[in-house]
Amino acid sequence: RDAVGGPKEASGKENDRRRFEQVRQRLMMRMMSSPNMKRLARNLRFTETEEGLRIDLVDESDFSMFALGTNRLTPDAAQMLREVGDVIQAVPNGVKLRGHTDSFPWSKDKGMNNWRLSAERAEITRQFLTHAGVDQDRFQRIEGVADREPYNDQDKFDPRNRRMSIILGWS
């Protein structure tokens, strides 16, 4: 029956849901264990999607993942990614990374645009997670979507639109 959506399929998704909940709990426990990480915990969002568990690391007016207009991780973002990497390296699910920007345009003379910036940031995140222990064979997709999938579609310039999505896929 599993070929037509029977019990085997349901139990696989339920196993993933349990695993995803454990990932969320472990990550939040780690974030709450240190004063610096505790203040950054609000920048983590967890959402179940068709792709799996999406963990968003979201910019705010007082927190940025990357130095403005660059692919250089801030020290706080590096610390957050280290925590995420430590937790997700222990689960077998495939990983997809998606970089997002806000809609602020870039000057043409600098050779940067939101497409390139979001893709470079996704690649830097992949490198960092690999360094943190996530097996490089688990990465299924790394992409930059610029400002095309805003967190806040009512305000294209909202800092929360700048984020990194780390998706743990369904088994």
Q: Which residues contact 37 (CB under 8 A, 6 or more apart)?
A: 30, 31, 79, 80, 83
Asked if 163 contacts 56 with a C-beta cutoff of 8 angstroms, the reply is yes
Res. 11 pLDDT band, cuts 50 70 90 = confident
CA 137 to chain centre: 17
Q: What is the pLDDT of residues 39-98, one digit of tens each?
A: 999 999 999 999 999 999 999 988 999 998 899 999 999 999 999 999 999 999 999 999
pLDDT of residue 1: 40
Pairing of strands 95-100, 139-144: parallel
Instruction: Report the run of H or E that residue 144 belongs to, with start and end.
Output: strand 139-144
Please state the pTM of the whole predicted model. Answer: 0.90
Q: Which residue has the tokens 């920007």?
A: 101
